[in-house]
Amino acid sequence: MPASKRPSISITAASVLILLILAALACDSWTAVGDASTQLPPAGGGQQDTPAPADWFSLYFSDPTGPGARSLRGGPDAHLAQALEGARLSVDVAAYDLDLWSLRDALIAAQRRGVRVRMVTESDNLQTDEIQQLKEAGIEVLGDRREGLMHNKFMVIDRLEVWTGSMNFTVNGAYRNDNNLLRIRSSRLAEDYIAEFEEMFVEDRFGPGSPANTPNPALTIEGTPLEIFFSPDDETLSHLVEQVENARQSIYFLAFSFTSDPLADALIESWQAGVQVAGVLEEAQVETNFGGDYDRLRQTGVDVRLDGNLDSMHHKVLIIDERIVVTGSYNFSNSAETRNDENTLIIHNAQLAAAYLAEFQRIYNQSK
Question: 52 exposed, middle or buried (CB, 10 Å; 0-12, 13-18, 19+)?
Answer: exposed
Question: Which residue in 153, 315, 316, 348 is the catalytic one?
Answer: 316
Cα–Cα nearest to 95, from 62, 61, 130, 122: 122
- The full DSSP string for 59-100 is EEE--TTSHHHHHT-SSHHHHHHHHHHT--SEEEEEES-B--
Q: Do the beta carbons of residue 152 and residue 179 sit within 8 Å? A: no
Active site includes 321?
A: yes
Question: Which residue in 92, 144, 234, 321 is the catalytic one?
Answer: 321
d(CA 127, CA 250): 44
Q: Do the beta carbons of residue 333 and residue 261 sit within 8 Å? A: no
Active site includes 153?
A: no
* Amino acid of residue 94: A
Q: Do the beta carbons of residue 273 and residue 256 sit within 8 Å? A: no
Q: What residues form DSSP beta bridges with 255?
A: 281, 316
Question: Which residue in 314, 315, 341, 348 is the catalytic one?
Answer: 314
Write the CA distances from 251 to 76, 225, 326, 341, integer angstroms: 26, 19, 11, 26
Active site residues: 314, 316, 321
